[in-house]
Amino acid sequence: MLITYIGAYLVFVILVSIAVSLVLMRMRIADPRRAAAIIAAVLLVPLMAGYLYITYLGSIPETVVPDLRGMPLEKAFAELEALRLRGIFSGTVFDMKYPEGSVVKQRPEAGRRVKEGRVVRLVTSSGKRKVLVPNLLGRPAIQAEAVLAAKGLYLGESEEDFMPELNPGIILVQNPLPGEEVSTGSYVKITISTTLEPVVSGEAASEEGEEGGFKFWW
């Protein structure tokens, strides 16, 4: 690293010397001490900066950034601390691939060599996206599946309720209710109208008959 820096600095000195000489000629600075002071200042600043970098920053050990994607945030912090890196939480994004609270993005990326003590910014998954349940009440049941699918929801169990005054197949009840906030992928149960009277089984009908009439024991 030192040899590379010295070579680059020599090239820099040559280029700066030419540039400063042209500037001094254009400015017509006749005082040689003033010209020497300007050239020295231009050349010494990068020299000191390079010395500080090699002496201090160059001596800090390096490590490889691990792949933290899919890890819970606390575990990711522990992994970084073990490598003498520092993790910082930088917000959340929607990502169905990873569960809520797991790391989905990191900066710097996994595999990069960095100095110990480097900050690694972590973004976690917000989990499933939240949506508002659409209003299905009064709609024909055949429309329910398409309306729910547009919101990322699914049609759940369906029950029937005897309503002779309504057309069959009208949604009477839904659960969750319209406007409730749920996660995508949730199921919505419905109750629909029917004009068919409930059929009473023979045993139930017999019991009703016994309750409403006389019972003979011979």
Residue 115 has pLDDT above 80, yes or no: yes
Closest CA to 46 of 9, 1, 4: 9
pLDDT at residue 217, as a whole number: 35
pTM: 0.47
Cis amide linkage into residue 108, ω under 30° from 0: yes
Summarize pLDDT for 13-59 with one digit per residue, the tens: 667 666 666 666 666 655 566 666 666 666 666 666 666 666 655 66
Locate 193 and state its tokens: 């109208």
pLDDT at residue 185, as a whole number: 86
Query: Taking the CB of residue 19, how many other CB atoms lie within 10 A of it?
Result: 11
Range of 42-46, 99-103, 126-130 with top mean pLDDT = 99-103
Q: What's the average model confidence in pLDDT over 163-171?
A: 93
CA distances from 103 to 72, 87, 199 (A): 6, 11, 56
Q: What's the average model confidence in pLDDT over 119-127?
A: 93
